[in-house]
Amino acid sequence: MSIRTNPNDFAAKKQWLAAQLQRNGGSPRLNKSTVSHLFRYRSASASGSGVSLTRFNRVIEVDVEQSSLNVEGLATFETIVEATLAHGLIPLVCPELKHITIGGAIVGIGIESNCFRHGFVHDGLIEAEVLLPDGRVVLARPDNEHAELFRALPNSYGTLGYILRTRMRLMRARPWVHLRTQRFGDLVDFLAAMRAATQDPNVDFTEGLFHAGGPFFLTNSRFEDHVPRVDDIVRRHVFYKLLEAQPDLYLSTRDYLFRYDPEWFWNLPESWPYLLFRRFAPRSLRNSGFYTRYSAWKRWVLAQLPWTGEEDVEPLIQDWEVPWERARELIEFARRETDIGAKPWIVTPLRTPSTPTLYPIEANRLYLNLGCYCQVKKVAGRTDYWYTRILDDKCFALGGIKMLYSSTFLAPEQFWAHYNGKAYWALKQRYDPKGQLKDLYAKCALRV
């Protein structure tokens, strides 16, 4: 059975786009109705002008028999999960924030707590229609003349072209998820249990949280057809606090997939106005987009006040990945050398079946992903982004790699050595010879 929700819509939009590009003579511009998940603060003018792609945001077809999804590049995971879960299917890997888009997660290395089994978001990619800077649209597949582009989409961050449409693999999902959390006092025991979970066929998802100096919480989860109760993490409880207090949690699959969305992980203030908001605001407003708007508003208010100087915080919003054998060293270093206050660190194992050209992580090898998603107090007397810099250095020294959605301070030669500059520039020459789109270093390191 194939459910085609918008059969002709995509073709019509492509025609519209071609006409607009011809009329304006301008370059395409990615621009969305939802918030961005890049954590690089840039000037508003940096978004540029041109033909907006914002309308490429719909699900085209859910192919139930083939377990595949045909979807436009700017569709959010919220839209996608709503369309697929109705048929008991979901993408192999669904990022935890509802407004991340499928195109953004492919070019920006999307992850989840089941990456140890399915790889990254882009490992579910079957094909992609890519809009090149000169206005041509090409179909990139692993077996056609654009196979090199296909393999270079992950970690390209829209610098080679924009994904207008993709076909993705789907998998069976059940309606509920049972989460079981164990507490460990010892890091070695915690890592051993997490590694064992990656080999356990009864575990569908695994991830861990820990605080500075505190215990380690390992949560192994599995799909279920029936559960004894359903816990509420949207209105009553804050997800990460509930799992630390209660060994068994039961969530709808949708709430599980987007479990960190209501609080944008752990970043909304727990003051009474927000507690009222989370309790009574319409469910449609209870999402990470609210956090992004709240942060922008806060920065704007602070900028208007004559007596407030520059904020005394570093946004330590990063993901680092190291081979599993070096996981203990990275975690010990992070706990010893940084101070992130009361907020947790988050870890998950991952293993990818393929090495993307621009994200040279070894295929079929187990890695540990360490994430930190909070604002931390700046270190007095140290250079800006001190914690980011020392953790980046440690990660690379341990043979790891870091994601580029946030800040990076590598010099150009180091950057291109880590992210396969040779292959990148050959592709840039082929797909964007006039340099109409920014290059990866300019976008991710220079933040222009």
Ligand X SMILES: Cc1cc2nc3c(=O)[nH]c(=O)nc-3n(C[C@H](O)[C@H](O)[C@H](O)COP(=O)(O)OP(=O)(O)OC[C@H]3O[C@@H](n4cnc5c(N)ncnc54)[C@H](O)[C@@H]3O)c2cc1C
* Candidate residues 10, 51, 62, 73; the one interacting with ligand X per rule CB under 6 A: 73
CA distance 345 to 31: 31
CA distance 445 to 411: 8
Q: H or E stretch including 59?
A: strand 59-63
Shortest distance, position 306 Cβ to ligand X, whole Å = 30
* Interaction between residue 318 and ligand X (CB under 6 A): no
Shortest distance, position 438 Cβ to ligand X, whole Å = 9
Shortest distance, position 107 Cβ to ligand X, whole Å = 4
E-state strands within 225-352: 248-252, 313-323, 345-350
Shortest distance, position 60 Cβ to ligand X, whole Å = 14
Shortest distance, position 439 Cβ to ligand X, whole Å = 12
Q: Which two tokens stand for residue 434?
A: 């006039």
Nearer to ligand X, 163 or 249 (CB): 163
* Interaction between residue 77 and ligand X (CB under 6 A): no
* Interaction between residue 119 and ligand X (CB under 6 A): no
The total number of residues shown for the chain amounts to: 448
* Candidate residues 21, 140, 163, 372; the one interacting with ligand X per rule CB under 6 A: 163
Site string for ligand X, 88-107 (x = CB under 6 A): -------xxx--xx-xxx-x
- Judged by CB under 6 A, the chain residues 372 through 411 that form the site for ligand X are 373, 405-406
* Interaction between residue 238 and ligand X (CB under 6 A): no
Mark the segment that binds ligand X (CB under 6 A) among 5-13, 156-164, 276-284, 393-401: 156-164
Shortest distance, position 380 Cβ to ligand X, whole Å = 26
* Interaction between residue 252 and ligand X (CB under 6 A): no
Q: Which two tokens stand for residue 281?
A: 């605001």
- Judged by CB under 6 A, the chain residues 8 through 47 that form the site for ligand X are 30, 32, 36-39
Nearer to ligand X, 279 or 298 (CB): 298
Nearer to ligand X, 116 or 405 (CB): 405
User: Which of 222, 246, 226 is CA-nearest to residue 236?
Assistant: 246
The b/e string for 267-301 (b: 16+ C-beta within 10 A; e otherwise) is: bbeeeeeeeeebeeeeeeebbbbbbbebbeeeeee
Nearer to ligand X, 95 or 421 (CB): 95
Q: Which two tokens stand for residue 48?
A: 């540029």
User: Which of 244, 259, 98, 80 is CA-nearest to residue 167?
Assistant: 80
Shortest distance, position 93 Cβ to ligand X, whole Å = 7
* Interaction between residue 168 and ligand X (CB under 6 A): no
CA distance 277 to 282: 9
Across-strand partners of 313?
377
CA distance 178 to 226: 9
Mark the segment that binds ligand X (CB under 6 A) among 108-116, 301-309, 333-341, 411-419: 108-116
- CA 364, chain centre distance (Å): 21
* Interaction between residue 317 and ligand X (CB under 6 A): yes
- Using an 8 Å Cβ cutoff, are 371 and 318 in contact? yes
Count of residues that interact with ligand X, criterion CB under 6 A: 28
Q: H or E stretch including 125?
A: strand 125-131
Q: Which residue has the tokens 């999902």?
A: 173
- Using an 8 Å Cβ cutoff, are 289 and 34 in contact? yes
* Interaction between residue 80 and ligand X (CB under 6 A): no
CA distance 83 to 77: 10
* Interaction between residue 275 and ligand X (CB under 6 A): no
Nearer to ligand X, 108 or 421 (CB): 108
Shortest distance, position 299 Cβ to ligand X, whole Å = 15
Nearer to ligand X, 89 or 372 (CB): 372
Strand, helix or coil for residue 390? helix
* Candidate residues 21, 69, 90, 111; the one interacting with ligand X per rule CB under 6 A: 111
Q: H or E stretch including 223?
A: strand 216-224
Binding site for ligand X (CB under 6 A): 30, 32, 36-39, 73-74, 95-97, 100-101, 103-105, 107-108, 110-111, 157-158, 162-163, 317, 373, 405-406
